[in-house]
């Protein structure tokens, strides 16, 4: 890239603002951020060299995107399909962070009409996102892969309440993951399993964790590996005891039963559970299968901690989500991804991702230090 590439980010919140900073401070991108909240835009413009635009109800998103190379949707998942449609009409590439399966299916349909050079790449965060790149790479190392287990969690470093949890990212996304059905492969068959079920326990670095089914983390991996693998699943990691409390609230008290109940649950959580920036992202992927006639297991375990970046404290989930989205956008702009239509994360090569200036934040044993961009 010889001149600054114009990119628009929709959403000036924690993740949208973080992506904007990662891209803008390289000086390789001309970043425009759109939001309906003027205060969020004003705060971001004081922190990073970005262009801001206050979205008004009468604004045409298509027109605002016409001179851009790409757009990243960093807003509520129920807005993503309309943003993707505007991107299609404007002829720009589209990226988002959603874990919502139905939203991703809608975007894949839109992507079928993409022009040459225009891609649609949803689910670009941590999980779905990076974990799919990692798991796909690990599965390919086997002559015949049998099982892949993905375990991912954003956890408070210092849990101090009965839930052993603090809010670290989108509450809407959290509730979505805890309520919706989950994809998996079991005994070679693609199946749907219930969220909050499949409880298991494991230890890592002397700490006890639990893991259970949550929705959306697999991305397109079930589709990619259908007929080639016996078992594949994704579970969210929490400290022991969290799942039982959430199961009581969501299923016992039926707070996940309707959209209205979910909104009530969102209000309760945001009023009662503190946000923390002092968190750790745990990524624990295990694969087993045949290599040279032997049944082997490979494990990849990563812990990524909160850190100081650009003079601010960044939470680990903030860093990993923003870095993943920035990395795949950067790879697209460098011609390292497919060039038209829907792009799945299993098309991204893990070594290329980790070598990327933003993907480097996922390096194993990378603790609180800043990777220069």
DSSP notation for 78-137? GGHHHHHHHHHHHT-EEEE----HHHHHHHHHHHTTPPTT-EEE---BTTTBHHHHHHHH
Strand-pairing partners, residue 51, are: 32
Q: Are residues 134 and 88 in the same domain?
A: no
Q: Are residues 163 and 296 in the same domain?
A: yes
Task: Indicate whether 261 pLDDT > 90.
Answer: yes
Q: Can you tell me the distance from the alpha carbon of 310 to that of 318, in angstroms, rounded to the nearest whole number?
A: 13
Peptide bond just before 250 cis, omega within 30 deg: no
Q: Can you tell me the distance from the alpha carbon of 71 to that of 52, in angstroms, rounded to the nearest whole number?
A: 14
Q: At what angle do helices 259-272 and 171-179 cross, to 10 degrees?
A: 130
Q: Can you tell me the distance from the alpha carbon of 186 to that of 210, in angstroms, rounded to the nearest whole number?
A: 20
Percent of the chain with pLDDT over 70: 97
Task: Give the domain CATH number at 351.
Answer: 3.40.50.720
Residue 182: name the closest of 100, 281, 285 by CA: 100
**Could you give the number of structural domains in the chain?**
2
Give backbone dihedrals phi and psi of 151, rounded to 5 degrees, phi first: -130, 120
Q: Which of 46-60, 219-233, 325-339 has the lowest mean pLDDT?
A: 46-60
Q: Is residue 372 part of a domain?
A: no
149 touches 186 (CB < 8 A): no
Q: Are residues 137 and 89 in the same domain?
A: no
Q: Are residues 213 and 294 in the same domain?
A: yes
135 touches 286 (CB < 8 A): no
Mean pLDDT, range 29-34, rounded to an integer: 96
Q: Is residue 371 part of a domain?
A: no
Q: Is residue 26 part of a domain?
A: yes
Q: Can you tell me the distance from the alpha carbon of 227 to that of 249, in angstroms, rounded to the nearest whole number?
A: 37
Q: Is residue 368 part of a domain?
A: no
- Listing DSSP states for 291-331 in one string gives ETTEEEEEEEEEEEE-EEETTEEE-HHHHHHHHHHHHHHHH
Q: Is residue 373 part of a domain?
A: no
pLDDT band at 57 (very low <50, low <70, confident <90, very high): confident
Task: Give the domain CATH number at 149.
Answer: 3.30.360.10
H/E stretch holding 138 reads helix 130-139
Mean pLDDT, range 213-226, rounded to an integer: 93
Q: Are residues 237 and 101 in the same domain?
A: no
Task: Indicate whether 366 pLDDT > 90.
Answer: no
Q: What is the pLDDT, as a whole number, of residue 368?
A: 32
pLDDT band at 364 (very low <50, low <70, confident <90, very high): low
Q: Which of 138-152, 162-176, 253-267 has the lowest mean pLDDT?
A: 162-176
Strand-pairing partners, residue 208, are: 203
152 touches 234 (CB < 8 A): yes
Structural domain for 122, as ranges: 5-126+319-362
Q: Are residues 330 and 184 in the same domain?
A: no
Q: How many residues does the chain have?
A: 373
Mean predicted lDDT score pLDDT of the chain: 93
What count of other Cβ atoms lies within 10 Å of the Cβ of residue 368?
A: 13
Mean pLDDT, range 209-229, rounded to an integer: 94
Q: Are residues 161 and 282 in the same domain?
A: yes
Q: Are residues 16 and 86 in the same domain?
A: yes
pLDDT band at 3 (very low <50, low <70, confident <90, very high): confident
Mean pLDDT, range 152-171, rounded to an integer: 93
Q: What is the pLDDT, as a whole number, of residue 367?
A: 37
Q: Are residues 294 and 151 in the same domain?
A: yes
């Amino acid at each position: 890239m010889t001149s600054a590439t114009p990119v628009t980010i929709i959403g000036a919140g924690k993740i949208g603002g973080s992506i904007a900073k990662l891209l803008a401070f390289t000086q390789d991108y001309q970043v425009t951020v759109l939001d309906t909240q003027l205060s969020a835009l004003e705060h971001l413009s004081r922190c990073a060299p970005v262009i801001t635009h206050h979205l008004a109800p009468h604004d045409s998103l298509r027109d605002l995107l016409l001179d851009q190379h790409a757009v990243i949707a960093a807003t509520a998942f129920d807005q993503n399909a309309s943003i993707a449609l505007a991107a299609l009409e404007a002829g720009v590439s589209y990226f988002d962070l959603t874990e919502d399966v139905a939203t991703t299916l809608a975007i894949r349909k839109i992507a079928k009409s993409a022009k040459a050079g225009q891609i649609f790449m949803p689910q670009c965060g941590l999980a779905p996102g990076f974990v799919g790149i990692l798991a796909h790479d690990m599965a390919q190392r086997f002559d015949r892969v049998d099982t892949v287990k993905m375990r991912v969690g954003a956890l408070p470093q210092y849990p101090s309440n009965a839930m052993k949890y603090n809010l670290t990212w989108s509450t809407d996304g959290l509730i979505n993951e805890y309520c919706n059905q989950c994809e998996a492969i079991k005994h070679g068959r693609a199946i749907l399993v219930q969220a909050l079920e499949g409880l298991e326990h494991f230890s890592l670095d002397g700490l006890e964790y639990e893991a259970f089914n949550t929705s959306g983390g697999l991305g397109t991996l079930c589709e990619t590996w259908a007929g080639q693998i016996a078992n594949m699943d994704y579970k969210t990691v929490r400290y022991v005891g969290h799942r039982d409390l959430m199961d009581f609230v969501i299923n016992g008290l039926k707070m996940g039963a309707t959209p209205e109940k979910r909104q009530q649950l969102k209000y309760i959580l945001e009023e009662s559970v503190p946000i923390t920036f002092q968190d750790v992202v745990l990524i624990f992927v295990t694969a087993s299968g045949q290599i040279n006639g032997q049944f082997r297991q490979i494990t990849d375990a990563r812990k990524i901690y909160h850190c100081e970046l650009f003079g601010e404290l960044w939470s680990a989930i903030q860093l990993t989500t923003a870095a993943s989205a920035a990395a795949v956008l950067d790879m697209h702009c460098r011609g390292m991804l497919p060039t038209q239509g829907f792009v799945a994360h299993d098309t991204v090569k893990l070594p290329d991702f980790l070598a990327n200036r933003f993907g480097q934040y996922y390096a194993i044993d990378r603790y609180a230090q800043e990777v220069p961009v």
